Amino acid sequence: MLHKKVGTDCRLLAHDPTSLIHLLPKQPRLYPVGRLDKDSRGLLLLTNDGALTQSLMHPDFHHRKYYQVQVARAFDDTFLQQMAAGVSYKDVTTLPCKITRLSTDRFEIVLTQGLNRQIRRMSQALGFKVIDLKRIAIESLQLGNLTEGEMRPLTDRELSTLKSCLVSSI
């Protein structure tokens, strides 16, 4: 588990000084499970387990990912309702999701879809700019108090709980 900082690129590009590859150990070779865009921060799962990656990433499994989001100005309940119902942008309509107000300009959103820059694009389609986006959980796995830039192995309990979540959703 890594608490990714803003500015870290999740692509594994040796020539890019901002690439995640420069933060990873040489052995074992680890790969990110999904991505967080360069402007986002929070929980990033790293593994060399291809089956685990497939079961977490495949869109048919609809695994929950939790985010805390701050937008540039206050929003009303209509914004929350529209986000929860699914938002259309470009040629996509997002799946319905769970959303909770945290303050006048902050909300928590639970997605089961993993489209590129999805929360930013949903918010933008409704006239709001995201100024902070932090992933706080993937299924049962919680970021907790891991500090930005810090990495740690999953506990045996975290791993078994995560795997049991994945098996029960297949």
Residues with catalytic annotation?
37
What b-and-e string marks burial along 23-48, b requiring 16 or more CB atoms within 10 Å of the CB?
Answer: ebeeeeebbbbebbbeebbbbbbbbe
Q: Which of 139, 162, 135 is nearest to 36 (CA)?
A: 135
Short-list 48, 16, 18, CA closest to 32:
48
**Distance between first and last Cα of the chain:** 23
Q: DSSP for 79-138?
A: HHHHHHH--EETTEEPPP-EEEE-SSSEEEEEES---TTHHHHHHHHTT--EEEEEEEEE
Structural tokens at position 74: 């206050």
